[in-house]
Chain A
Amino acid sequence: MLSSFLRRLATAIPSLIGVIIVTFLLTRVLPGDTAAYFAGPAATPEAIEEIRVKLGLDKSIPEQFVDYVGALVQGDLGSSLTTGQPVIQDIIDRLPASAELTLFGLFIAIAVAVPLGILAAVRQGSWIDHLCRIVATAGVSLPVFFTGLLLVYVFYYILGWAPAPLGRLDVFAFPPDPITGFLLIDCVLVGDWETLGSALAQLAVPSATLAIFALAPITRITRASMLSVLSSEFVRTARASGLSPFKVIVGYAFRNAMLPVITTLGMVFSFLLGANVLVEKVFAWPGIGSYAVEALIASDYAPVQGFVLAMAIMYVVLNLLIDLLYGVIDPRVRIEG
């Protein structure tokens, strides 16, 4: 088990190296002269030269790469020009807000999509199957920022159920002292139920937006995977042995149908991390996505590069976790691995 775990860990290393090389290249192709850019518009040629030496831009590309990796290892991603803080600090401060939103959205999506996909496969051709097909087709065509705005219009403006789309907490609510940074968890930890309610109300619409976006691929793959498993021999045997339909479907068929679903989750996550940026912009969510967008608009490049790198590393780690989960669910993968 441990050796297969380590072996799997080793396969993530080339991806990580690739990610670091690409982000390094992205820092080197900045439009114009990087040193002149960091020196500011009023800098003298001497000042620019000084900054060039300070940033190490006078060295050769391989030397610069070594410096870059060295800085990365120490967690140095440069400083943001707009917030004046180290980028790594900004990202750590804002990551919980993004993670809360993305994970909550994914949770809703799985909670809706998996049962929907199973029912569509079990009752093939029924209305639920048609609903499933509509969800799968419409979901891939909807721009996520557009869905978000539609939901805001319906639930905030017309129905008045949702609070204004302005961040994680109502302006009049007092956030608890950050313990984990995850607002929901912090509220539960200090027992502040009123703030928890407010935070959940703020979270509902943006996470529903993300969930609608993630629904389509999960539903489609669950349905397809269940259909192929349901027609297999062991399901027929289980049925012939007189097991209850529930036990056959949930206990035997679904467990086997789960593997492709989990593989798809990796891809869904890639899309979700991108969609997250757009949703954060729509709902003024103070996460790393809106941080990167603000920096992009202000031509503040260090935060953008830090953001791209952080997201890529998170995605590589996530894929690793999904692979390990695969081994937990299916013992055959574990033995082969």
Chain B
Amino acid sequence: MTAVTDTAPTAPPASGLMATLRHARHVIGENPVTGLSFGLFALFLVAAVIGPWIVPYDPFESDTAAALQAPSAAHWFGTDQVGRDIFSRVVAATRLDMAIAIFSVALVFVVGGLAGVAAGYFGGWTDRIVGRLADTIMAFPLFVLAMGIVAALGNTVTNIVIATAIVNFPLYARIARSEANIRREAGFVQAARLTGNSEMRTVLTQIVPNILPIMMVQMSLTMGYAILNAAGLSFIGLGVRPPTPEWGIMVAEGAAFIVSGEWWIALFPGLALMLAVFCFNLMGDGLRDIIDPQRRT
């Protein structure tokens, strides 16, 4: 028994891991779009990590002689109103956009997930409080609530992360709650309890590892929404400030030039944003196919 509980709870036995990998390869082979989305995600991660060092121009350096140039061989995505290279800025912006999305999703994953698990496992008052909290958040139009939270907490990037996490809370809490609830009286949980594990230890070693895969799918699916939410907030002038490269604010900067025909300033950051959201949605669908037990036959 000690041998079992001492191993890291997230690591299933080696044969299980191999089976999962084999299954993942099978699912990806069956649906190449999923493979494509994983590739795209890797590309975004690379751009986020080393992007600012590999771009051809300094994303902050203006060159008024070359302002408002259409895309060309020298400037692939053209230049903006002060002559900054848009390609460099779009690539450099990946880091901030990804960071906002990943941190906010990670935050709600931990807080919402644990609150939901506690609600589903313990029931009673915990359940009622978490449920009421989730219902109250759901009573607001989510983007509007995010605006209100950023306005109240202060206009910073950190608060955009917090606001995005808060509006996603009900989703995570509900899924974790229902998944924890159906496992509450499962055989392996009762066995863990009978052998003298404390409630806390039972939750952390038996319940949490079991609902982790489903929560991971959720994480990927909401990542797209998190990016859209953060970009929307910065589009209306919250959080990120110019001249910081960020997709939402770059689209906002380009918006003024759309009516005079300079389409490239807004188009390319918008496309990057769209591609990122698209990638996360496809990846979420793909992950669900891999993890959903009903397809694992």
Contact = CB atoms under 8 A, between A and B. Distances in A.
Interface of A: 14-16, 18-19, 21-23, 26-27, 29-31, 137-138, 140-146, 149-150, 152-153, 156-157, 164-165, 269-271, 273-275, 277-278, 281-282, 292-293, 296-297, 299, 301, 304-305, 307-308, 311-312, 315-316
Contacts, number: 152
Interface string B134-167: 0111011111111111111111000000000000
A18 B136 contact: yes
B57 interface: no
B148 A18 contact: no
A292 B147 contact: yes
A149 B135 contact: no
Given A145-B232, A296-B151, 17 more contacts: A15-B139, A31-B153, A141-B274, A143-B251, A149-B266, A153-B261, A270-B140, A270-B142, A271-B142, A271-B143, A274-B146, A274-B232, A277-B147, A292-B147, A293-B237, A311-B141, A312-B139
5 contacts: A31-B153, A31-B154, A137-B281, A143-B274, A275-B143
Contacts of B151: 26, 296, 301, 304-305
Interface centre among B142, B235, B273, B281 (most CB of A within 10 A): B235
A141 B140 contact: no
B230 to A, nearest CB: 11
Contacts of B224: 140-141
Contacts of A149: 251, 254-255, 258, 266, 270
Contacts of A308: 140, 144-145, 147-148
Interface string B245-274: 000100110110011110100110010011
A137 B221 CA distance: 13
B153 A278 contact: no
Interface centre among A146, A150, A269 (most CB of B within 10 A): A146
Interface of B: 132, 135-137, 139-155, 224, 228, 231-232, 235-238, 248, 251-252, 254-255, 258-261, 263, 266-267, 270, 273-274, 277-278, 281
Contacts of B153: 29, 31
Contacts of A281: 235-236
Given A141-B281, A143-B232, A157-B258, A297 B237 contact: yes
A152 B228 CA distance: 20
Interface centre among A19, A143, A293, A311 (most CB of B within 10 A): A143
Query: From DSSP, what is the main secondary structure of chain B's interface residues?
Result: helix
Contacts of B152: 26-27, 29-31, 301, 305
Given A149-B254, A275-B143, A308-B140, A296 B259 contact: no
Contacts of B144: 273-274, 277, 307-308, 311-312
A152 B281 CA distance: 27
Query: From DSSP, what is the main secondary structure of chain A's interface residues?
Result: helix
B143 A274 contact: yes
A145 B235 contact: yes
A142 B236 CA distance: 17
A164 B259 CA distance: 8
A273 B141 contact: yes
Contact of B263 (A153, A270, A296, A307): A153
B80 to A, nearest CB: 15
B237 A270 contact: no
A270 B141 contact: yes
Given A23-B148, A27-B152, A143 B231 contact: yes
